[in-house]
Amino acid sequence: MSRRALRQLSNWILGRLVGLTPAHMQNWAEAVRAEAAAIADDGEALRFAAGAGSGLALTFIKTRLSDGLGLASDRLGPRRLAALAATAAVMIGVIHLHVADASSSMILVNLASLGVGLALLASAAVWQGASDRGRAIAALSMAGLLVLTSLFGVASHGVVRWVAAGPLLVQSSLILLPALLTMFARKTTAAGAAALVVAAVAMAMQPDRAMAGAMVAGIAMLWLLHRNRQVAIVLAASASGFGATLVRADNLPPVRFTEGVFTQTWQVHPLLGFAVASAGALLLLPAAAFGPRDSDCARQCAVFGAIWLAIILAAVIGSYPTPLVGYGGSAIIGYLLSACMLPPTPLARQGLHSAVKQSARSQPDNLARLFPRRTSCA
């Protein structure tokens, strides 16, 4: 490989490293880039870039995940509680599936869905920085996907709730509707109200009593905390949609490992039943993460809790999916996607800000510890 190619490869590695670097740690990557540029030998510069890149890339990825999940905060914010609750519930669900002799592919689907959901939650900061127009487009797109599912989705016993994703069936309402409702709780815009009216129609068309009921529960909670015209319109639409699902027949038989889990596990062993019930209760933890003076956060967390409480109660009462504990990736991804819409608490943001300042003060020492012989410019 020519000297020019070696230098170009070194610059490419360091360019990717800069792109991966969190904003408050940019001087780390710039220090490494300056050090590599100061090395006259192209081969030595490439070896330094490869060593520095591999070492710092892990640090930067860990920092990005920590920032996204709120792991650097001084208290447990709603996102971090959601991540912990989802992980615990899925692990308890894996035990249930194993005891119930479910196939290993079912366990892998739940674990893979947990990984996807946690990755989405780690990127929550991207959503928080989206513009109002971007949120409006996202809300209307999600509502449109729910309608498309009602029109062209996979049907069973007169019910149309699923979309085929290869060999898997995905319930789009479990993925999209909780996130759409939590998004609306953050800011009750006209576009968000229009999207939820469309979603209410989609729930009536499918029909899906559980998700229509969860919609009513979430909007009713929002109405108690934040009354305005948009919320009133959505509440009327959601109540009408739920009424329509009650009129239409829903004769879908229960599916083993997915529905009836809360009651079946008690019959297997009381300890397993208690563990599964505890996992359901864990899902409501983010609703308790708000500060008493933070009305916006309190509103979103309360709506989030009302939605998932309704979904859990539907699974107890009828033949509807047991969220996170039963087999099915839709509820796992939907739970963590809706948690993306939750804000960090003020104390969490303050703690993160303090952690960032502390990280900035300690960067030269950390960099010197990673590369003691090559950090003269850091």
Residues 6+ apart with CB under 8 A from 361: none
pLDDT digit string, tens, across residues 48-103: 767 766 666 666 665 655 555 544 444 568 898 999 999 999 999 999 999 999 99
Please indicate, yes or no, whether residues 280 and 365 belong to a single structural domain of this protein.
no
- CA dihedral 351→352→353→357, nearest 10 degrees, is 100
Q: What is the mean pLDDT of residues 161-167?
A: 89
Residue with tokens 């993460």: 289
- Weakest-pLDDT range from 3-7, 93-97, 248-252, 256-260: 3-7
Is 53 or 337 the better-scoring residue by pLDDT? 337
Pairing of strands 159-165, 154-156: antiparallel
Instruction: Find the domain containing 21 and state its range.
Output: 3-68+350-370
Distance (Å, whole) CA 344 – CA 191: 24
Residue-wise over 264-295: b if at least 16 C-beta within 10 A, else e?
Answer: bbeeeeeebbebbbebbebbbbbbebbeeebe
DSSP string covering 308-365, please? HHHHHHHHHHSS-B-TTTSS-HHHHHHHHHHHHTSPPPHHHHHHHHHHHHHHHHHHHH
Please indicate, yes or no, whether residues 13 and 82 belong to a single structural domain of this protein.
no
pLDDT digit string, tens, across residues 100-145: 999 999 999 999 999 999 999 988 877 777 788 989 999 999 999 9
On whether residue 378 sits in a domain, the answer given is no
Where is 159: in which H helix or E strand?
A: strand 159-165
Please indicate, yes or no, whether residues 202 and 326 belong to a single structural domain of this protein.
yes
How many structural domains comprise the chain?
2
pLDDT digit string, tens, across residues 188-207: 999 999 999 999 999 999 99
Please indicate, yes or no, whether residues 129 and 266 belong to a single structural domain of this protein.
yes
Please indicate, yes or no, whether residues 25 and 101 belong to a single structural domain of this protein.
no
Please indicate, yes or no, whether residues 141 and 248 belong to a single structural domain of this protein.
yes
pTM reported for the whole predicted model: 0.73
On whether residue 143 sits in a domain, the answer given is yes
DSSP H helix total and E strand total for the chain? 16, 3
Three-class SS of residue 287? helix
What average pLDDT does the chain have?
Answer: 82
DSSP 162: E
Please indicate, yes or no, whether residues 243 and 115 belong to a single structural domain of this protein.
yes
The answer on pLDDT for 209 being more than 90 is yes
- CA dihedral 59→60→64→65, nearest 10 degrees, is -30
Distance (Å, whole) CA 335 – CA 315: 15
Among residues of the chain, what percentage have pLDDT more than 70? 76
Please indicate, yes or no, whether residues 48 and 192 belong to a single structural domain of this protein.
no
Say if CB 243 and CB 203 are below 8 A apart.
no
The answer on pLDDT for 12 being more than 90 is no
